[in-house]
Amino acid sequence: MIHYDVRRFASVPSTMDICRQLAEQGAPEGVVVVADAQMAGRGRAGRAWYSPPGQAIYLSLLLRPSLTARRLSWLTMIGALAVLDALDALGVPSSRAGLKWANDVLLDGKKVAGILVEAALTADRLDYAVLGVGFNVNTDFGDAPEAVRAQATCVRQAIGCAMDLSNALDLLLAALAKRYAQLPASPLPAYVARLETLGRPVRLRVGDEEVVGVAERVEEDGALVVNTSSGLRRVTFGDLLDRCVHS
Ligand code: BTN
């Protein structure tokens, strides 16, 4: 089981950067950078991550797994599954929580957490990876940008009572350790089992292009295969714009 070395900070630009610096200095796997607030928290595709103080979990975990670059997305899956485990342990009914490809954890259909994995590679092997988790536990979105307010939720809002942040952090770290310990077994089956995206009409932004079709499956490398009017399309990196609900 991974041995954690938790480093706490009041406020940082981004826990990802601190953790990366520690990795570059040779820190071992298991270093966790946790901050009360982030001034420049980031998500995928360079987006900002809303990070007000004392309301949510912002963490970055240094990992040095024996994985090829092709399996990097497994770490995203492990992070997302661990958040689901933590929600479960916090008493959230599993029927209300699920996953949205590629890195979103949903609660009542809204984003409650996001996973960001950044890695350094030597040839085709992972030198290290930083697994970032932003988990909206008690977040007040009153001052958040409209786009965030429209799509995000937190556990407090969904459950109706505030959660103890340090307990939520302990649960999340325990879940991450357990999921990570299952490597080299693939997390894909567990991930797919909770994915709300499959079998549904989807619209994705892939670079400058929009891909429209039905989400068919996720492959071992984390790519989403979409059945479009011009055939099957494999998307390795893209943004799911919306999900159409079946009637
Ligand atoms: C996403 O959904 O796009 C990923 C969001 C990841 C946010 C977390 S918060 C802790 C860590 N530090 C960051 O700057 N980002 C990640």
Same domain, 168 and 229: no
Quote the CA–CA distance of 154 and 18 in Å, as a whole number: 25
Mean pLDDT of 81-93: 97
* Residue 247 included in any domain: no
Residue 242: pLDDT band with limits 50, 70, 90: low
By most ligand atoms within 8 Å of CB, the mutation choice from 12, 31, 49 for ligand 1 is 49
- Expressed in angstroms and rounded, the spacing between residue 231 Cα and the centre of ligand 1 is 34
Ligand 1 contacts (CB < 6 A) are 14-16, 38, 41-44, 47, 49, 58-60, 103-104, 114-116, 132-134
Query: For residue 207, what are the domain limits?
Result: 201-240
Same domain, 18 and 85: yes
Same domain, 233 and 112: no
Same domain, 14 and 58: yes
The pTM assigned to this predicted structure is 0.96
Q: Residue 118 pairs with which residues in a beta bridge? A: 130
Count the domains in the chain: 2
Q: Which helix (H) or strand (E) holds 83?
A: helix 73-89
User: Is the per-residue pLDDT at 239 higher than 90?
Assistant: no
Mean pLDDT of 191-201: 95
Quote the CA–CA distance of 155 and 106 in Å, as a whole number: 10
Tokens 């809303």, residue located: 50
Residue nearest to atom 2 of ligand 1 (CA): 114
User: In this structure, what are the phi and psi dihedrals at residue 199, rounded to the nearest 5 degrees?
Assistant: 80, 5
Helix (H, G, I), strand (E, B) or coil at 24: helix
Same domain, 42 and 80: yes
Residue 243: pLDDT band with limits 50, 70, 90: low
106: tokens are 């949903």
- Nearest by Cα to 97 from 83, 114, 78: 83
Same domain, 127 and 236: no
Residue 244: pLDDT band with limits 50, 70, 90: very low
Give the CB-side neighbour count of residue 183, counting CA atoms within 13 A.
20
Confidence at residue 156, expressed as pLDDT on a 0 to 100 scale = 97
Residue 247: pLDDT band with limits 50, 70, 90: very low
